[in-house]
Amino acid sequence: MKRREFLKIGGMGAITLFLSGCGLAALSGTEQASAVTIPEKGSVSGGKAMKIVVITSSPHPKNESTSCYLADRFTEGAKSAGHEVFTFDAANSDTHPCRGCDKCGMDGECIFKDDIENTLMPKMLEADMLVLVTPLYYYGMSAQLKIIVDRFYSRTSRLHGKKSLLMATAYNSADWTMEALASHYETLVRYMEWDNVGTVFAIGCGSRSLVERSDFGNQAQKIGENL
Ligand SMILES: Cc1cc2nc3c(=O)[nH]c(=O)nc-3n(C[C@H](O)[C@H](O)[C@H](O)COP(=O)(O)O)c2cc1C
């Protein structure tokens, strides 16, 4: 499926959406920067080097993905501040959706011995901070990321207390674009007893050139630098 098809199939409404998404957000990055809270330098980590797990979930090639661009900019900032970053590519890894079999008892091994269980979970368990990164798919997180989130089930309580950040990109630039995702994330943070560091919601960023021209990459990098 080509990147623009999501909007093409929507007819005139989608064309309006596409036009509004195409320019405005990229041009008004400063205005939107105000919606993002950049932490004060050292306020999140207390000046200690943190272990950070970044989970990306776009099926696009990394150098074309808008959400991976945000992940890269955040990572650049976090590494420059001395933090250790492990990145997991949920879209190109061996993952399986939770089957709800309850063999894990919410605190044990998963029946799937895939990349989530063998690679990601051990990294998440020892991490100080989890960063969820997603393209907006039908106003929620991507299925690729949701698979990871559902697999938190096997270690739910052991994943409590982490610091967290959500970054997302979307074509649409209307102010309500990220509402449903923001609400889901807020509830997730509450249930997981996470310490929310913030969100970067890159609206109007349906292509790599748009996100690169916007201010959202700077915001992501600054958050990483200031942890
Ligand atoms: C299956 C699918 C669903 C999408 N749903 C939305 C949507 O609900 N709202 C929106 O503004 N953009 C939507 N988009 C556009 C993507 O969010 C947007 O192109 C994003 O920049 C892609 O990020 P990526 O390059 O990191 O994958 C959708 C794209 C796809 C392929």
**Whole-angstrom distance, CA of residue 71 vs CA of residue 54:** 7
Probe residue for ligand 1, chosen from 70, 171, 209 as the CB with the greatest number of ligand atoms within 8 Å: 171
What the block records as the tokens of 72 is 């890269």
Helices 66-80 and 216-226 meet at what angle, rounded to 10? 30
User: Within 6 Å (CB) of ligand 1, which residues are found?
Assistant: 3, 6, 58, 60, 65-68, 135-139, 169-172, 177, 205-206
What the block records as the tokens of 20 is 């509004």
E strand residue ranges, the chain: 51-56, 84-89, 129-135, 163-169, 195-202
What the block records as the tokens of 61 is 């090639």
Residue 173 · residue 20 · CB < 8 Å: yes
Cα–ligand 1 centroid distance for 124 (angstroms) = 26
Decide if pLDDT at 30 tops 80.
no
Task: Count Cα neighbours of 77 within 13 Å in the Cβ-side half-sphere.
Answer: 22
pLDDT-derived band at 35 (thresholds 50, 70, 90) equals low
**Whole-angstrom distance, CA of residue 3 vs CA of residue 197:** 30
Residue 60 · residue 68 · CB < 8 Å: yes
Question: Which of ligand 1's atoms lies nearest the C-alpha of 136?
Answer: 17
135-179, pLDDT tens digit by residue? 999 999 999 999 999 999 999 999 999 999 999 999 999 999 999
Helix (H) or strand (E) segment spanning residue 5: helix 5-8
121-131, pLDDT tens digit by residue? 999 999 999 99
Query: What's the pLDDT at 36?
Result: 83
- State pTM to two decimals: 0.89
Question: Which of ligand 1's atoms lies nearest the C-alpha of 140?
Answer: 8
Question: Which of ligand 1's atoms lies nearest the C-alpha of 211?
Answer: 21
Q: What angle do CA 153, 165, 152 make, to 5 degrees?
A: 5
Cα–ligand 1 centroid distance for 207 (angstroms) = 9
Query: What's the pLDDT at 18?
Result: 34
Cα–ligand 1 centroid distance for 64 (angstroms) = 13
Cα–ligand 1 centroid distance for 168 (angstroms) = 10
